[in-house]
Structure 1
């Protein structure tokens, strides 16, 4: 018997240049390898990307204009497709959850995977339905506004526990993130620059890059490369003020891999605990020294493999010390040990059990 699954995503999970894309893409790939026929539904903007790379893992792919995701009328085409059968449904984030008000949930398994919603906060404040849902996640008194019969899963154990403690919901779970092959390929020795990378079209990544430029690398001459998709005017202008900073816009996957490998320090601070930073995973698998803050490793097993600073001054001190220190074999062995432990976690098996029993 063929098992089917609908996945609704607010954007196309490609290219693999953000935690969002990586997690969804490897979820799709892992489920495909388990024999699940994926029906992917995603929203696109005017410059929308429609990659063929997903075709081999999906039974069908359906795209919709991004303007319909928050429409009061919803998306009739999407809801009709999903309501034409009773396949399980995986919803990626609160930004898509409004659509559930129009989808039949009778005897249908529905899982909502929670993620960082900072890009949608302004919309949430002006949308009564979504606002109720958002308040429900953080306000015990309004928890009835969020459908309690769905299963809500988090990629961060602390966030799952926080949500559980503020609601009466029973189906709140931790699900490890889906990531690519976890073979450590880091090489010992010296790199030639510091690197911050990420999808710079996300406000959270923009804020991190701007913070690094203005608070950490503003008065130290250690070379910093910032690389990512669609950097805004503010980052571009700010980076141009410093001779030891270089901004690389829209690098290819191969170019990004080379940057991570060649950097002596991958510096990846985070200002959100709502999900593990998969770009940190990428850096630990392929790069040399990794520097972050406490939020960057919250709810993960990576603390021992990273150099952690509590504030800008601490990060400056760590960077200045590490930049002259070779990356050594014992640090690679530590990472291999950590990832051997993580490899024992099988999120696809857990997800399959929730979806199909």
Structure 2
């Protein structure tokens, strides 16, 4: 069976949340025997990648048009900048089902030219809520204005989902939200790089915080942890991630137990997660599904997070949940002296099966081909 997948970016390398989800989804669909015609957008450093040809039947590339005049469109910029007539022609050139990755890619649906087609939209967030949260986190006035306007446009544009067969929500909270647009809303949690649980027993000697540290929201979350939690504990702390902003170095200056690791590669990050005694996943909002949480559970020892990260995911039993800075400090001081035992690994194995790529791909295929 052949399906169209329309991705908001070139999903290789899989080096951030959205690209990771799309790339490993393509891989899992291919392993189930589906032939995928991938349509994806090039921009900035996301360029043509031959590696995608190994897992896809065909790959079509479209240049995302980043013309600033689209900021004044009634459509959200993330949608208007991906409007492409050649994409529409290619989709109309076959009769195969279409999976749109994110609201970003749904301009062809907005045109009304795809009536009668089998269409699923995979939502990665409630986008207007996500952009509203970005606006709250942003200190730059112009960027904050952009996020606020984009949030308003996305809320209005979201009604395009009335025209789809099904919606694949990324989290239980999102599933509940999107039921107002379709009676066929189903849950497909994020795809990820892990084929199996790979966790070490015993103890480590440091706490790890890992994130894309070029993203303002993640930076603010990490600053909160430094100011309210990490300065209050004596244990070694490693903060690792993509392109850490200078403010993180400034905040941790003079705090002797904090080390920042800039741009670790995949192997280095896996090693950091595995060897840590505690992996902290913290967020200032509950939007979407935090892929960092799955990384910590598939690879790490004790998982410590706040309620915004884990609530309604089905993973609550596997995490130590902190509701305040005092909770974080108390749980850190408790867990650092608690070995990670075989019983905890077995409990994870029993619960993480339904978060495997194979499981999620089978659910998705049922709706694509049903």
TM-score w.r.t. the length of structure 2 is 0.82
Specify which of 166, 177, 183 is matched with residue 170 of structure 1: 183
Contact residue 156 and residue 300 of structure 1 kept, 8 A: yes
CA drift of 1:354 comes to 1.5
Give unpaired runs (5+ residues) of structure 2: 67-77, 136-144
Deviates more, 1:12-21 or 1:86-95: 12-21
Q: For residues 76-155 of structure 1, what are the structure 2 equivalents within 5 Å? A: 76-102=85-111, 104-116=113-125, 117=127, 118=130, 123=146, 125-126=148-149, 131-135=152-156, 143=159, 146-155=161-170
Contact residue 12 and residue 21 of structure 1 kept, 8 A: yes
Contact residue 198 and residue 279 of structure 1 kept, 8 A: yes
Q: For residues 28-47 of structure 1, what are the structure 2 equivalents within 5 Å? A: 28-47=26-45
Distance 1:173 1:115 in 2: 13
- Quote the residue 1:325 is aligned against: 338
Does the C-alpha gap of structure 1 residues 64 and 216 become closer, same or farther in structure 2, counting only changes over 3 Å?
Answer: farther
Distance 1:64 1:214 in 2: 44
- Quote the residue 1:140 is aligned against: none
Does the C-alpha gap of structure 1 residues 195 and 355 become closer, same or farther in structure 2, counting only changes over 3 Å?
Answer: same
Does the C-alpha gap of structure 1 residues 9 and 235 become closer, same or farther in structure 2, counting only changes over 3 Å?
Answer: farther
Contact residue 149 and residue 171 of structure 1 kept, 8 A: no
- Quote the residue 2:8 is aligned against: 10
Deviates more, 1:173-182 or 1:77-86: 173-182
CA drift of 1:251 comes to 1.1
Q: Give the match's secondary structure for 2:99.
A: strand
For residues 65-104 of structure 1, give each alpha carbon's deviation from its aligned partner in whole angstroms, at most 9, with x where no partner exists.
3435544782223222222223222112222233432463
- Quote the residue 2:305 is aligned against: 292
Does the C-alpha gap of structure 1 residues 79 and 215 become closer, same or farther in structure 2, counting only changes over 3 Å?
Answer: farther
Q: Give the match's secondary structure for 1:64.
A: strand
Distance 1:197 1:50 in 2: 28
Specify which of 201, 204, 207 is matched with residue 191 of structure 1: 204
Q: Give the match's secondary structure for 1:54.
A: helix
Deviates more, 1:236-245 or 1:281-290: 236-245
CA drift of 1:319 comes to 0.9
Q: Give the match's secondary structure for 2:26.
A: helix
CA drift of 1:345 comes to 8.1
Specify which of 200, 210, 213 is matched with residue 200 of structure 1: 213
Query: Does 2:276 match 1:263?
Result: yes
Contact residue 18 and residue 198 of structure 1 kept, 8 A: no
Query: Does 2:257 match 1:244?
Result: yes
CA drift of 1:146 comes to 4.2
Distance 1:62 1:103 in 2: 22
Contact residue 159 and residue 273 of structure 1 kept, 8 A: no
Contact residue 82 and residue 107 of structure 2 kept, 8 A: no
Give unpaired runs (5+ residues) of structure 1: 138-142
Deviates more, 1:17-26 or 1:262-271: 17-26
CA drift of 1:7 comes to 1.8
